[in-house]
């Protein structure tokens, strides 16, 4: 049995850095403005206004807590590490692994985060269909086609990641696109 191996996530490209900084400033401004507009303490309108004012900061903290920091691969699972949690994806039934640097050109976000500290969620593209995305830089995208789903991740060392998967699963087709 081969030991698990850790792969760091790809470094943030300039566009992700800028969108995260701009998003942080925008969320702070909207939150302050919404809080200042909350009616004086009296009943439903006060609490409703307070909930509306707290929504942007909660989205900010959720995005921050789920920043992808790396990936651990073993013969049984892929673990996506985040700042305060992790996501485990079983690798049983893995069929194909390939590198796909042009992924974002035709992908559409169905639900998830599209640029505040990363890209994650459920996405759709004509080529991949529906897929789960856990990414920082699309130039480092690795597509994992499993029996029941497709997962896209962005390790810093894409070729080393694909080579490691090929060593773990020699029968799996690995393609560089």
| CA distances, 51 to each of 35, 44, 57, 58, 65 (Å) | 9, 11, 11, 10, 20
Please calculate the CA angle 97-107-127 and round it to the nearest 5 degrees: 50
- Residue 114 in tokens: 């599209």
- Residue 75: name the closest of 172, 165, 173 by CA: 165
The answer to whether residues 63 and 116 touch, using CB atoms and an 8 Å cutoff, is yes
Report the alpha-carbon distance of residue 126 to residue 147 in Å, rounded.
19
Using DSSP's 3-state secondary structure scheme, residue 12 falls into: coil
Report the alpha-carbon distance of residue 143 to residue 100 in Å, rounded.
7
The answer to whether residues 46 and 111 touch, using CB atoms and an 8 Å cutoff, is no
Q: What is the pLDDT of residue 7?
A: 97
Q: What is the pLDDT of residue 95?
A: 92
Q: What is the pLDDT along the chain (177 residues), one digit of tens a residue?
A: 567 899 999 999 999 999 999 999 999 999 899 888 887 777 888 888 888 889 999 999 999 999 999 999 999 999 999 999 999 999 988 999 989 888 777 889 999 998 999 999 999 999 889 999 999 999 999 999 999 999 999 999 999 999 999 899 988 877 655
HSE-up of residue 58 (Cα within 13 Å, Cβ side): 6
Q: What is the pLDDT of residue 133?
A: 96
Q: Give the predicted TM-score (pTM) of the model.
A: 0.89
Q: Which helix (H) or strand (E) holds 58?
A: helix 44-65
Q: What is the pLDDT of residue 161?
A: 94
Q: What is the pLDDT of residue 73?
A: 96
């Amino acid at each position: 049995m081969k030991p698990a191996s850790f792969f760091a996530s790809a470094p943030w490209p300039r566009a992700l850095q800028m969108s995260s900084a701009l998003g942080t400033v925008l969320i702070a401004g909207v939150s302050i403005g919404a809080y200042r507009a909350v009616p004086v303490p009296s009943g439903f309108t006060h609490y409703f206004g307070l909930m509306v004012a707290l929504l942007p900061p909660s989205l900010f903290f959720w995005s921050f807590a789920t920043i992808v920091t790396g990936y651990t691969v073993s013969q049984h699972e892929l673990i996506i590490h985040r700042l305060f949690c992790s996501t485990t994806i079983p690798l049983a039934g893995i069929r194909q692994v390939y590198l796909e640097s042009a992924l974002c050109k035709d992908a559409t976000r169905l639900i998830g985060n599209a640029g505040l500290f990363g890209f994650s969620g459920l996405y759709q593209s004509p080529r991949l269909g529906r897929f789960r995305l856990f990414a920082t830089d699309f130039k480092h995208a690795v597509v994992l086609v499993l029996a029941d789903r497709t997962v896209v991740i962005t390790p810093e060392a894409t070729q080393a990641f694909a080579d490691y998967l090929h060593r773990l699963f020699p029968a799996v087709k690995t393609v560089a696109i």
